[in-house]
Structure 1
Amino acid sequence: MAAGATTKAAAVQTGTVYAILFAISSVHMLNDTMQAIVTAMFPVVRTSLDLSLGQIGWVAFALNMTSSVMQPVVGFLSDKRPAPWMLPFGMALSLIGVAGLAYSPGFWALMLAVVFVGLGSAIFHPEGSRVVYFAAGGRRGLAQSIYQVGGNAGSSLAPLMTIFIFVPLGQSGAIWGTLLAAAAIIILIRVVPWYRSQLVTHGKPVKRAAKAPESGDAKQVRQNVGVALFLLILLVFARSWYTTGISTYYQIYLEDFRDFSLRAAQVPIFLFMAAGVLGTFLGGILADRFGRKRMILISIGGAAPFALLLPYLPSFLIYPVIFLLGVILLSGFSVSVVYAQELLPGKVGMASGLITGLAFGMGAIGAVIIGEAGDIWGLDRVLTWSSFLPLLGLLAFALPPDRRE
């Protein structure tokens, strides 16, 4: 706790370093754009590689589980021994994966390429979150929002890539993604020296003293933190499961059940993801003012009415409603990370990995279940069932108040 407090105080004293924040946010955008290539390819490879809905779910599962489950592991290790060189190394793995996506001849080769993309992302995110932590100064919510806006912006490009790259060029269009990885490596080469200097100044791990006997109050605090983390992961899981269903399958639903063309089906997905960029930015600013817990409650629970309405709307109302849904649902994205970091002071990488990693990995299970269930019961029915997931946001009432409440 003392080491965590010292690091936090030092980070606040440096002030907010916007140049580094925007640089690491741009790399986050490039990283998540490479991940979005996988989703953007689904309408094309569904035909070219003759994939079932279940197989598409397994590809999404491989991407999210690789990029997610490894994040807490990388975060735990990097909290003990931060390694700035891991940032460009992760991008190099993603470069290999994206090149593999372009030329995968079948399902299993596609899965292998996706694993490389996922590993690169898993390595980048915890280290990127630590860079943000040092650059944030006293504006934690704003800094995390700037970082997450980059990632959400990259994810939102998936429908546009489908329209402008994969429809005209087919699967081989993924090769252009290698340029994204190269650009990210170039930017990180400039960020790494600054990050290393921060570690030298006040970020190196401190050798722990002998563990003192734990008092009753300390045990109660530890138990409360554990309950809060469990609830937070459950909330992020519900949001991730629902978001995965929309980003992976809603375009297919619009084609198969609403008579949208392949291109037209990408527009609602783009609106949802682009709205998430706006929501992420606004959520961080509002959380700094009104509190993390309130924003988490509003973001997931407040999205529930729109999610429940979406399956029954006429086509022309889909566009405004899915935009509002994206703004509200993803306004708590960066807030959840900051809330977890405050629950686990001194463990920035692990906290970030738990929320952006493990919880999203749990959400990846939803991609498989939705796909397999869609093959059995029909995608329209399964997506309607999944629209009840945001109601779990009401569990946020049980979270302990944060320091701003």
Structure 2
Amino acid sequence: MNNSELQALKERYVAAGAASPNEQFAAYASNAEVWDADGKRMIDFAGGIGVLNVGHRHPKVVAAVKAQLDQLMHTCQTVMPYEGYVRVAQKLSEISPVRGHAKVMLANSGAEALENAVKIARAATGRTNIICFDGGYHGRTFMTMAMNGKVKPYQGDFGPMPGTVFRAPYPVDYHGVSEEEALRGLQMTLRTDADPANTAAIFIEPILGEGGFYAASPAFLKAIREICDEHGILMIVDEVQSGFGRSGKMFAIEHSGVEPDMMTMAKSMGDGMPISAIVGTDKLMDSSGPNSLGGTYTGSPVSCAAVLAVMDIFETEDILGAANRLGDKLATRFAIWQEKFEFVDNSRSVGAMAAFELVTDKASREPRADLAAAITAKAKENGLILLACGMHGNSIRFLMPVTIEDEVLEEGLAIIDKALSELTV
């Protein structure tokens, strides 16, 4: 079927709230390129929203999934466990920088990982309050919607959110929130809303994902660690988007040297196969009763096979080096654009987790979400998949596979350069 035929079916049968506004339908993909149902080639700078750090259909992942399909597809691991689940748990325990010996629970999505992290934190501490940060994004389930630091489009239509979720400022100097002010805001939250004696955990993204690709400094993350230790609160880092090499390290928290009590991860750990994980210290992960954690499809054999292949790719193909080299190339190009265009500002990157902002001008720093929408639309017209993000909707983020070929990268960057040059401010 072609794009127009599929679009007609989508309009008739797919719920409006779940339907993509994109009228192109993916038919085939390889590394950083996608072809639609009409045969049009697109360069992919979105990577399935950070899912494809090692590229579309990496040969090792495809081979591992095919081999697993010949052996076992499903038993539900709580009914009859299998080797893949425990091997993935072992691998994640070995590489995750949590305090002490780590244990693992596998789930299906980032939101499900966050939901279970809340459950485990409450079971381990006997406390109920959760503190999150402005601009944070944790998912679309009810608890994670409450945890998100942004109302639209995630919460607006769905009525009251779960209680005992509180918020603190995330430090973004460019938009007027210093680290000092953010820490003062967190302390105020602990004094006025979330009694430390009843606060189970502080959740933080080391680098905001949906919130704009702003990185918390090592000093800020160390201060969070100290506040948690002072009050017996768990520090839980959300690495769903920043993990698995995006930042130039396996996990973004490693840039700070801080060891959290628990981590959540998903997206690129399975290179497109649905899987997520909660990794925490053994005492925390063992705190709830028998059969209190799990799900029918959690840690499916096929997804576990994909994760093990991804781990092998990281060990043999210098993915972290590729991420850092890609980040350097993006930073160089961003600096050129920031010098050339008055409306391009605040370019930033940690490894290949990179973004810049579109503003009225560098003096006012007034966000221009309309320009971000214009550049992503123009990029699409010219064969490039590109995403905006941020609290103000004015940041352009880069999530292409870190394995992208140089010539494909340059072709995509040239499309953006042309779009920037053609924008009418």
Q: Does the TM-score normalized on the shorter chain lie above 0.5? A: no
Higher relative contact order (CA 8 A, sep 6+): 1
**TM-score normalised per structure 1:** 0.27
More helix by share: 1
**TM-score normalised per structure 2:** 0.26
